[in-house]
Each structure stands twice: as structure tokens, then as C-alpha cells.
Amino acid sequence: MALILHAGSTNKNAFKALIAAEYTGVKVELVQNFEMGVTNKTPEYLKLNPIGKVPVLETPDGPIFESNAIARYVARLKEDNSLFGSSLIEYALVEQWIDFASLEIDANISRWLYPRLGFGVFLPPAEEFAIAALKRALTALNTHLATNTYLVGHSVTLADIVMTCNLHLGFTRVMTKSFTSEFPHVERYFWTMVNQPNFSKILGEVKQVESVPPVQSAKKPAPPKESAKPKEGAKKEAKKEPAKPKVVADDEEEEAPKPKPKNPLDLLPPSKMILDEWKRLYSNTKTNFREVAIKGFWDMYDPEGYSLWFCDYKYNDENTVSFVTLNKVGGFLQRMDLARKYAFGKMLVIGSEAPYKVKGLWLFRGKEIPQFVMDECYDMELYEWTKVDISDEAQKERVSAMIEDQEPFEGEALLDAKCFK
């Protein structure tokens, strides 16, 4: 008899039990026609889980809710498997990494993603905190995976299943390549795991998200329906004709998706400067950077199609803690993901001791800073923006020095240099 799992087919918390079932040979079936927000509010579902959370597993002995508990149950149904390790210490380590995957990875991905999707109030400081906490967790995970293929022992355990499912939400919804490239061992681990046969059977083809989703307004509950009770005096009204069925014109198809408006920058005249070619040259130049990359930049640069801008952080006196300053810059670059197709940037954190200075150089498509960037990225107003005058040799040399990460820069050491490309 198969166990019945109540969840949608794309629910990453349901994936945990389904993948565990592939490793143990336990038969678990997804319930048919599950609709999130509808099915889980029915009286029948609330008998399985009184607060309506998803997923729930129906077993011969009664329902189980909470996804990690469900995955543990499925993993233990058959004794001849190694999903909990092969010793007491490995069992403890499996439990350790399950907790870490839930409390440090999943929780912070959720705090970053869901407010952007409108499931909660979006607060920039809260997002910065979530991203900083997630980076701290991924740094610890990256260090562990530098010398380990799996989280525990030498084969897949339940810890790997839970961790990968939680990372799946991040990789496919909010963690872009520019974000995860800081954690190469986590990247290697994730792509290794999702391509394991038992994982890919459940997850299918996995593609990394290309940009952080824009902030949407918080979703509001639907207004309550008016009572069907007739108003006073309604009995005196004449009988109304039955409502005629709505006729939809051929050119007014119901709920037809509106065409996505083109970005104004896509409508600009073609430029001789191909941004991807510059980014490729920058990334591939390992020696003679001045002679190759910098010279190539000025050969490519088109002042009619692009503009260069210096930015200086307005509140450098607040940059008293190095890692907080670095996280601040990292958060800014994350929020600039919406401009990746149209921009290249360098951000320098300058100084050997506090307070640290933050200065940047940005190349934007068009002769002005794109309006959608000014509107969507709140960090823009935290900087003073000055358009580069390339006829001024001193400013032109400053551009070259910033692209090159020249040190010392303006007489001071570099704490860090970050590139947006």
C-alpha cells in the first residue's frame, strides 16, 4: 500500500520525502489535483493538519506533518539503507546538518525571497540581514564541502536530501550565479546532487535563476463575500431576468496575459560597444591587464551608447566594521541584478582601518543612469553619482585604475574590490 503525500508537485518540502522514498524503495504517491491555498483549507485537510500547513503524509497509523519529520519517517521505514549513516556519530551528524539546512539555509533563503514575492512586508534592512546570515551559513557549508563530497560519510544521507531541497529553492528562485560563485564547493555539491538519478527523477531539469525577482506588493486577502441574506424591502422588488452569460469578444480573451513591455534601453540605437564582449575580455585577461583589458575597454567604449559614472557612498563615517561594510556592498550588488544586461560595475572598499570608504565605477547603457534602476534599487540614493568626463585625462585614468583594482588607490590600501558583470 502506498503512502499518500498531500502537496503540490513543485513543493520543495515534498521533494524531501519523495527523494528519500527513491533511496529506500518505499512507495509514496502525491495526492491528485492538489491546489495550494484551496485544498489545504478544506475541512478534510484540516483534520490531517489543524493549521493547514503543507505537506502532510497519510500513513496506516495516522497523518504526519512537518516535512523533515515526514522525510525521517520515510527514511526509517526500511532498515537496510544508509540514509542515517552507519554509526551513532554519523546519525548525530546527519541530524546536525538537517537542523543546519533548516535553520541557517532554508530560513534565510525564505526571509530573502518571500517578501520579494509579496508574501510579507519587504523591508530593505531585513533583507540585508537575511542575505548576510545566508552568506555566513554558506561560507561554513563551503568550508565543510571543500574536503567532503557529501555532508556525512561517503554516500548520500538524509542530510544531503534535505540540504539539496532547501538549496534548490535558493538556486532556482533567488541565488544567481554571481551570488553562488563566492561558494564554489557549494555549487559543485549542489549540481552533483541534483544530477544523481534518484534526485533528478523527482526534481527534473534544474536551472539556476538569472536574476533576483523584483519586489512585489504584499498580497492581500480577498475581501469577504457579501451575505446572501436579502436586504429589507428586497421582497418588494420585481423579479429580475436571469443573468445572461458573459459574451467575450474575440479580441478580449478573458485573463489574456498582457505583453511584457520592452525595456526602454532595448529601444536605443545599436551601439558599437557589445557589453558581453567587454565582460568576456575582463574575465579572461589574467596577465598584462593594462595592455590588454584596459586598452580593450577604451577601444570598445562608445560614449554615444553608454555612459560612465563614479559613485561615492554618502555615509562613510558609519563604515566602522569591515564585514558589515563588505556585506553592505554585497547587498547593493545583489539588488543591482535587475540591471545585469545593461551594466558593468566595480565597487572598491578602501582603507586599512575604519572608517572604510566605499567608491564605485559604473558603466550603464544609455547616456544617463537608467530610470528603472533608480526606481527599483533603493541603494542608489545612498551614493553621490557623478558622470565621468572622458575628455578629462585625470578622470579617464581614474576609470582605468578602478577597473584594474589598482593598489594603492588614491594613496590608500584596498580592503576589497568587487565586480558586477
DSSP string, 42-93: SHHHHHH-TT--S-EEEETTEEEESHHHHHHHHHHSSSS--TT-SSHHHHHH
Class of domain 88-203: mainly alpha
Structural contact between residues 199 and 193, judged by C-beta atoms closer than 8 angstroms: yes
Q: What is the pLDDT of residue 250?
A: 40
pLDDT recorded at residue 296: 96
Question: Which residues make up the CATH 3.40.30.10 domain(s) of the chain?
Answer: 3-76
Residues of the chain with CATH 3.30.70.1010: 267-420
How many Å apart are CA 134 and CA 347, to the nearest integer? 21
pLDDT in tens, the chain (421 residues): 689 999 998 999 999 999 999 999 999 999 988 998 899 999 999 999 999 999 999 999 999 999 999 999 999 998 888 999 999 999 999 999 999 999 999 999 999 999 999 988 999 889 999 999 999 999 999 999 999 999 999 999 999 999 999 999 999 999 999 999 999 999 999 999 999 999 999 999 999 999 999 998 765 555 554 544 444 444 444 444 555 444 444 443 334 445 556 788 988 999 999 999 999 999 999 899 999 999 999 999 999 999 999 999 999 998 988 888 998 898 889 889 889 999 999 999 999 999 999 999 999 999 999 998 998 888 899 999 999 999 999 999 999 999 999 999 999 999 999 999 9
Q: What is residue 405's predicted lDDT score, i.e. its pLDDT?
A: 94
CATH 1.20.1050.10 positions along the chain are 88-203
Instruction: Report residue 308: phi and psi, to 5°.
Output: -110, 140
The end-to-end CA distance of the chain, in Å, is 53
Assigned CATH topology for domain 3-76: Glutaredoxin (3.40.30)
Task: Give the closest residue to 357 by CA, choosing from 327, 332, 325, 401.
Answer: 325
Residue 15's Cβ-side half-sphere holds a number of Cα atoms within 13 Å equal to 22
Which pLDDT value is given to residue 177?
94
Q: Domain 267-420, what fold? A: Alpha-Beta Plaits (3.30.70)
